[in-house]
């Protein structure tokens, strides 16, 4: 009987297997920045910003205001991505998609350059953002909310007050659990 060879993980893949997802969620706080998908997303954007800043310094980009605007927009977002905020990952996905779409639009309007490059960059980077979002979604699904003995219900994750019969937090969607004394 022939054994099935383990599939090699591709960084181009949008899928995250169950074992990897479980590892990312269970070791969320202990994974190195280069091992977690949110960390890799932060490293990618940071490297691209640094590279753009370097190109701007050497005169490749003639409009420094665009570079400064990019830094002002992306730095706070990558900070919150690293802290694990889902909204920041969604915003990062939307901004990256908008930026690459706008580059395609500019190329189509007669600007120089190849229309394939923004598409290639989008395809290279976006799977990491997507996987980071999947990890945050799974982490959120597994996070419980706590119920105290006074019949008040407060989410352990976001602190929102919920009804006693709540199975999930109305604000963040975390799962409810009862703490026994």
Q: Measured between alpha carbons, how far is 11 from 157 in angstroms, rounded to an integer?
A: 31
Residues near 109 by beta carbon (within 8 Å), at least 6 away in sequence: none
Torsion angle of C-alpha atoms 126, 130, 136, 137, degrees rounded to 10: 160
Pairing outcome for strands 153-154 and 144-147: antiparallel
The structure's pTM equals 0.71
Q: Is 13 helix (H, G, I), strand (E, B) or coil?
A: coil
pLDDT the model gives residue 115: 83
pLDDT the model gives residue 8: 54
Contact 62, 54 (CB under 8 A): no
pLDDT the model gives residue 10: 60
Segments of the chain scoring below 50 in pLDDT:
1, 180-181
pLDDT the model gives residue 181: 39
Q: Measured between alpha carbons, how far is 96 from 71 in angstroms, rounded to an integer?
A: 13
pLDDT the model gives residue 60: 73
DSSP summary character for residue 4 = P
pLDDT the model gives residue 59: 75
Contact 145, 156 (CB under 8 A): yes
Contact 146, 154 (CB under 8 A): yes
pLDDT the model gives residue 145: 55
The two tokens of residue 83 are 């802290």
């Amino acid at each position: 009987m022939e054994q099935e060879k383990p599939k090699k993980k591709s960084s181009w893949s949008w899928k995250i297997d169950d074992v990897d997802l479980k590892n990312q969620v269970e070791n969320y706080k202990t994974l190195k920045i280069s091992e977690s998908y949110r960390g890799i997303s932060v490293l990618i954007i940071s490297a691209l910003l640094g590279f753009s800043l370097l190109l701007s310094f050497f005169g490749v980009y003639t409009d420094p205001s665009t570079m400064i605007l990019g830094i002002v927009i992306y730095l706070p977002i990558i900070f919150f991505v690293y802290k694990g905020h889902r909204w920041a990952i969604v915003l990062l996905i939307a901004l990256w998609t908008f930026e690459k779409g706008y580059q395609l639009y500019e190329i189509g309007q007669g600007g120089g350059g190849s229309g394939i490059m923004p598409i290639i960059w989008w395809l290279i980077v976006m799977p990491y953002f997507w996987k980071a979002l999947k990890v945050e979604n799974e982490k959120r699904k597994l996070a419980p909310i706590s119920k105290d003995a006074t019949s008040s219900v407060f989410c352990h994750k976001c602190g929102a007050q919920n009804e006693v019969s709540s199975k999930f937090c109305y604000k963040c969607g975390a799962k409810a659990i009862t703490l026994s004394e």
